[in-house]
Amino acid sequence: MAYAVTRNELKSGDTIYYINTVSRIPGEKTKRKTVMVEKYSANELRELGEQDPQAYVNRRADELREMSRNVVRTMNYQVDFTIRLSLSGEGDLQVSDDCRNLGFAAYSRLYHRLELDEFVNNRRRYLDCGFNINVIFQHLLYSRCLWPASKKNTWEHKDRFFGDTGYGLQDVYRSMDRLLQWRTDLLKHLDAKVKEKFGRRDTVVFYDVTNYYFERDEADDEDGLRAKGPCKEHRPEPIIQMGLFMDELSIPIAYELFRGNTNDCETLPQAMDNSIIDFSDSRKIVVADKGMMSYYNIMKIRDARNGYVISQSIRKSDSQTKEFALSCEGWERTLDDNGNVVSMIKERTIPKRASAYGDMDDSRHSGIYNERQVFIWSRKYSDRAKRERQAVVEKALQSEGKRSKEFKDSSYGKSKYLRKSPVKAGELVQADWCLYEFDAARLEEDEKYDGYYLICTNVIGVEDESGINPDKPSGHAYYRDSDGFLVLNHVVPASEIADIYGGLWKIEETFKVTKTGMLSLRPVFHSRQDRIRAHFLICFISLVLERLLELQLGWQYSAKSIQESLSSFNALQLANSNIYQVAYYDVIVDTILKTLDIDISRKFLQQSDIRRIIGQTKKKDYEG
């Protein structure tokens, strides 16, 4: 039963308002029963002091709706006690037809606030297809966030969602093909709406690369994505490389896919060229780890008149850089309560010569560019490096004095700290075997750099506050062609550069969400290249929805805990009725519903209540 307001204009000039109850007639699909509850005259309401009779009647209807929700109602229904529990082939309880999920309402709120429904509907109306791509797209996203599984499994369990589920498995795959065709426009739309609705700031852009493996032994041909390469999990199967751009809010911006044997360093320039991010018209600061530290990448960023903040290994640096890092002079120290040094920071600006092979030929090209270098030492990182090395050193000591027929040196694992004799002046001496000797000198050399790391950048600020342009925002930046520095409109100390680089850990945590976390993006089971690309597109947008939900919650809950709570937030339909009983509720669900202003607060809900709640999540005027 629902309340509706109608009106009747009289010839006298008065307006009569009616508040009616509308209820469904059992056995009839289209007929409804209407009963008048209250009647008001506009003239009489004005005489009583109501300036806006229509607004008064609407408020009164809302009051009646709220009162009806709080009325205690009882009903009789029958239960078939002969129905037994059944198991699926995988040993899990089946999702029965009378059990529905309510947790997807949180993602529905975000989906519609981002106006993804309008994006899809504006395009599907020109397609000649007998299925609703918008519905299928939502189910693919919500299922990936709640119960990550194959597309077939998602289709088989589509009935756990309320609403339209009348589509076939082939419709799912056809929808994936269409979505892939819209990929660029879809990512641009998503980026624009995140900026508009959630205040995305993309001056600082984080970039990193990871890979995902496939459950197959053979790689694709040269035109395919799957190839055997250095897998992050050290698995032998073919992999795909994915480069990810992320903003300061920890919300993904864009992604690019690369063949599995592509070097991490080579992905950055390709990702910049193919990304929806405009690196040429607006000033950006690209933040990346030492795997992206190459002369070509730096020149790529500088040629676009942008900034970079990229780390570099001190151990692999030149002798002058090492000497400057280990020098006791120039450090700004931070002390703990006991007066012990917790961290140190210092910087220098130097002209730097570097070289790389060019794009047009195989010749080596070199050049000089100015660079700001920030040196940091951290006691926490120093202690961690010693702990991580301790196990390797212990294994090396256990092997000291043992014989081996393997004369080849190694820089990895325990062999890193083992010398192999007989060796003379770096040359192997003829022998039947070699003897392991612990290399204390190499250990001492490595320990010198524990806790030190170097951040290279061309980002600077104004020299003092007098140089700040009051007409420009603090984040405004301009590129200084005379020396190649990107100048921000505020003072930028070395500590701020360290803080900018420190945000890179968030992208690593995002990768964990896609792998071992809640999205379970790997392993990938698709074989066709277009379906693989469509799979990553769906997973990426699911990732954006998940991170936006975490942002709305103030990052107080992990992605995995959110998934566990929302996937368990189900309602069970009572036998022979349209009443659903909420079967699970916890503090995370309660926080999400209150944060997103979703009204699911009662243990028993009618089907009409659930339709109303789902309809509310589709409103565009919600601001969070």
**Which range has highest mean pLDDT (24-33, 88-97, 150-159, 209-218)?**
150-159
486-530 confidence digits (pLDDT tens)? 999 999 999 999 999 999 988 888 888 887 666 666 566 677 889
Tokens representing 375 are 């040196």
Is the pLDDT at 554 greater than 60, yes or no?
yes
Question: Residue 551 in contact with residue 198, Cβ under 8 Å?
Answer: yes
**What is the C-alpha separation between 61 and 41, in angstroms, rounded?**
15
Model confidence at 96, pLDDT cuts 50, 70, 90, reads very low
Average pLDDT, the chain: 84
DSSP assignment string, 443-467: HHHHHTTTTEEEEEE-EEE-SSGGG
162-196 confidence digits (pLDDT tens)? 888 889 999 999 999 999 999 999 999 999 999 99
pLDDT-wise least confident of 90-99, 150-159, 410-419 = 90-99
Q: What is the pLDDT of residue 88?
A: 42
Could you identify the residue written with the tokens 């294994």?
A: 395
Q: What is the pLDDT of residue 394?
A: 87
DSSP assignment string, 379-420: HHHHHHHHHHHHHHHHHHHHHTT-EES-----SSGGGGGEEE
DSSP assignment string, 125-142: TTS--SS-HHHHHHHHHH
Tokens representing 517 are 């976390």
Is the pLDDT at 87 greater than 60, yes or no?
no
pLDDT-wise least confident of 293-307, 586-600, 610-624 = 610-624
559-615 confidence digits (pLDDT tens)? 999 999 999 999 988 876 788 888 888 999 999 999 999 988 888 888 888 888 999
242-272 confidence digits (pLDDT tens)? 999 999 999 999 999 998 888 888 999 999 9
**Average pLDDT for residues 84-91, to the nearest whole number?**
45
- Helices and strands counted in the chain (H then E): 19, 24
Is the pLDDT at 73 greater than 80, yes or no?
no
Is the pLDDT at 327 greater than 90, yes or no?
yes
Question: Residue 613 in contact with residue 599, Cβ under 8 Å?
Answer: yes
Residue 14, Cβ neighbours under 10 Å: how many?
14
Model confidence at 37, pLDDT cuts 50, 70, 90, reads confident
**What is the C-alpha separation between 208 and 79, in angstroms, rounded?**
56
Q: What is the pLDDT of residue 408?
A: 58
Question: Residue 485 in contact with residue 459, Cβ under 8 Å?
Answer: yes
314-325 confidence digits (pLDDT tens)? 988 889 999 999
Q: How far is CA 166 from CA 87, 162, 169, 297, 494, in A?
A: 24, 11, 10, 50, 59
Which amino acid type is present at position 369?
Y
Among 141, 144, 260, smallest CA distance to 210 is for 260
**Which range has highest mean pLDDT (143-157, 405-419, 492-506, 525-539)?**
492-506
**What is the C-alpha separation between 21 and 40, in angstroms, rounded?**
15
Select the more confidently predicted residue: 69 or 53. Answer: 53
Is the pLDDT at 57 greater than 50, yes or no?
yes
**Average pLDDT for residues 385-404, to the nearest whole number?**
83
Percent of the chain clearing pLDDT 90 (strictly above): 44
Q: What is the pLDDT of residue 228?
A: 80
pLDDT-wise least confident of 197-201, 218-222, 343-347 = 218-222
**Average pLDDT for residues 275-298, to the nearest whole number?**
88
* Per-residue 3-state assignment (H helix, E strand, C coil) for 572-599: EECCCCCEEEECCCCHHHHHHHHHCCCC
Tokens representing 556 are 């107080």
Model confidence at 543, pLDDT cuts 50, 70, 90, reads very high
Model confidence at 94, pLDDT cuts 50, 70, 90, reads very low
Select the more confidently predicted residue: 492 or 234. Answer: 492
351-394 confidence digits (pLDDT tens)? 877 665 555 455 666 667 889 999 999 999 999 999 988 888 88
Q: What is the pLDDT of residue 40?
A: 93
Query: How do the domains of the chain map onto residue ranges?
Result: 2-70, 93-216+504-624, 314-501
Q: What is the pLDDT of residue 220?
A: 78
**What is the C-alpha separation between 613 and 599, in angstroms, rounded?**
7
Q: What is the pLDDT of residue 244?
A: 94
**What is the C-alpha separation between 565 and 471, in angstroms, rounded?**
47
Percent of the chain clearing pLDDT 70 (strictly above): 84
Is the pLDDT at 234 greater than 90, yes or no?
no
Cβ-proximal residues to 300 (8 Å cutoff; 6+ apart), any chain: 268, 269, 272
Question: Residue 3 in contact with residue 64, Cβ under 8 Å?
Answer: yes
Q: What is the pLDDT of residue 236?
A: 74
**Average pLDDT for residues 53-64, to the nearest whole number?**
90
DSSP assignment string, 296-335: HHHHHHHHTT-EEEEEE-STTS-HHHHHHHH-STTPEEEE
